[in-house]
Amino acid sequence: MLRTEPTDRAVEWPTILLLLATYGLWALGTTALWSFSPVLAVILTMLAVAQQSSLQHEALHGHPFANPHLNQALVFVPFGLIYPYGRFRDLHLAHHFDPNLTDPYDDPESNFQDPAVWARMSPARRVLLKANNTLLGRILLGTAIGGLAFVRADFAAMLSGDRAVRRDWALHAAGLALLALWLALVAEMPVWAYLLAAYGGNSLIKIRTFLEHRAHEAFRARTVVVEDRGPLSLLFLNNNLHVVHHCHPNVAWYDLPALYRGNRDHYLRRNEAYVYRSYGQIFRNHFLRAKDPVPHPIWPVQKAPADTPSCDGVKAAE
């Protein structure tokens, strides 16, 4: 029998304390640590940028507070520079409709291309996207490729009159202004170094997202589990247990490991053993070798009705 009993906490202290630690690390990296060791300052700031991205993901799923406006206030300043929190929230929640996973059009986080679009691409762009389908390429190029595509699409939406996108970018501009004030008046780290740290932080997140979803005829089998318990699992807030998160998106990060351990066989049956033992295995297998083709290999994606339950009707106490 499936056991789904995450801890019930009135105050989500693990998330609150991690927020404080992340912001403290970011402040230290951009100020006093720069004069001690510029290299260490960039590395620690990069880690703080990645950790804030993971915390933004928690916030949009309702943590640490039930009030979404309070959660947004905690994480809206964009350490990673590129993505407005509101746009990240809306696109990621759309991504959580599992029957659309990997769809080049309907999944906002898909890296697959429509084969017909792929056939019309220039050779240079094909080479770039093929490189982006290796882990090394995703780390080095993924932030630039994904960021440019995202910004271009959002600016087109704003020019066409999309008020929600305009609103989110206006708040993003306010967050960037606060960040600029910090860099100008408080930080010792120069702007060029911060840009490097921000890019690196976004690139660390690409390690997690690299193979989160695969092309598969059954949408329930498209989501991975990476059974890693090392530093990257903390940096990603256990989102490496990705099928568990997709089944129970409102469960807090610190409850996911116990939920997985108690129901491992269920989740691996559900995703048809799409599992890696660690991020070390992923680096060994895919650092220089693509996991998937760029054109979607089973296009069109088979879908299910909109009311199809995400996890075979099983719900966690969220």
**Does pTM top 0.85 for this prediction?**
yes
Q: What is the mean pLDDT of residues 4-33?
A: 87
Contacts of 258 (CB under 8 A, 6+ apart): 6, 7
Rounded distance between C-alpha atoms, residue 214 and residue 243, angstroms: 12
For residue 105, give the DSSP letter.
T
pLDDT in tens, 227-243: 999 999 999 999 999 99
Q: Write the DSSP assignment of 41-104 as a string of letters.
A: HHHHHHHHHHHHHHHHHHHHTT-S-S-HHHHHHHH-S-TTSS--HHHHHHHHHHHT-GGGTT-T
Q: Among 45-49, 200-204, 217-221, name the one with the lowest average pLDDT.
A: 217-221
**Would you state the pLDDT for residue 318?**
42
The answer to whether residue 6 scores a pLDDT higher than 90 is: no
**Would you state the pLDDT for residue 247?**
95
**Would you state the pLDDT for residue 300?**
85
**Would you state the pLDDT for residue 309?**
53
For residue 31, give the DSSP letter.
T
pLDDT in tens, 134-188: 999 999 999 999 999 999 999 999 999 999 999 999 999 999 999 999 999 999 9
**Would you state the pLDDT for residue 8?**
55
Contacts of 1 (CB under 8 A, 6+ apart): none
